[in-house]
Amino acid sequence: MSTASAITAEIKAPSANQGAPVETVAATSETAPATRTAAIRVPTPEELDWLRAASNRLETASPREIIAWAAEHYHPKLGMATAFGPEGCVIIHFLAQIQPKTYVFNLDTGYQFQETLELRDRIAARYGIEVELRRPRQTVAEYEQEHGGPVYKSNPDKCCFDRKLSVLHEASRELNAWMSGIRRDQSTDRAKASIVGWDKKFGLVKISPLANWTKQQIWKLITDEDIPYNPLHDQGYTSIGCFPCTRAVMFGEDERAGRWSGSAKTECGLHSSD
Ligand code: SF4
């Protein structure tokens, strides 16, 4: 299907969203990501109202309560995407108690730190939750060969799209909702995150159970519960992504200052609304 073509999506209301009818809605290419070729779900106005009301109700709920709500309403079509940051580890800790069969996956760009990949194994050993590593179509070697070198140097937005966003688009076809570990106090972009909302980029309900938590609350729980975390955090890496685009931060720097340092880029695009 041409990217310029209109695409039609059959919208099925989430199982617990009893008030929202099932509808067939036409989505134009303007509502779909530029390279998305599969149908993307579009919410009905009733579904959006339902999500807004749920989000408002959950504003004062604890992360555990929000995750329980998400599992109750969307499992087994609920996915949790993690880059194995401290927030993701905390959500996995709660999921192990609430719904350990939740589908947890990692966007494995091929550029992750070894410490990050080893954390996957430590989480599996601790919780029995095997985080699936979802990879792009091309290996790093194939990708760099096709583009004449590392794309993260020449065009990091393209690199993030090809190695992260396109992989989440693929995963989104199997899901009705996804959960992420973003916190509102991480950045001005993330300050706008709702607890529950519609993610038009991926055609999914998006749940952010830690939106209202602080970095201090995350680390207190990690310490109190001995939750596995990435050892790079002990070496000054406050936010960890791919190794070519991550550095340790210096005292007084912003938590995400080490991501795409020296460029204007601040997000990979997974959590931005445009
Ligand atoms: S963070 Fe860097 S290496 Fe990773 S996908 Fe984005 S541009 Fe590529």
Beta carbon of 152 within 6 Å of any ligand 1 atom: yes
Beta carbon of 241 within 6 Å of any ligand 1 atom: yes
CB-side neighbour CA atoms (13 Å) of 96: 17
Give the per-residue pLDDT at 138.
97
Per DSSP, the residues of 210-270 read TTT--HHHHHHHHHHHT----GGGGGT-SS--BGGGB-PPPTT--TTTTBSTTSS----SS
What residues in the chain have per-residue pLDDT under 50? 1-37
Give the per-residue pLDDT at 259.
82
Nearest atom within ligand 1 for CA of residue 241: 1
Residue whose CA is at the smallest distance from ligand 1 atom 6 = 160
pTM of the model: 0.83
Give the per-residue pLDDT at 38.
56
Domain 43-229: top CATH class: alpha beta
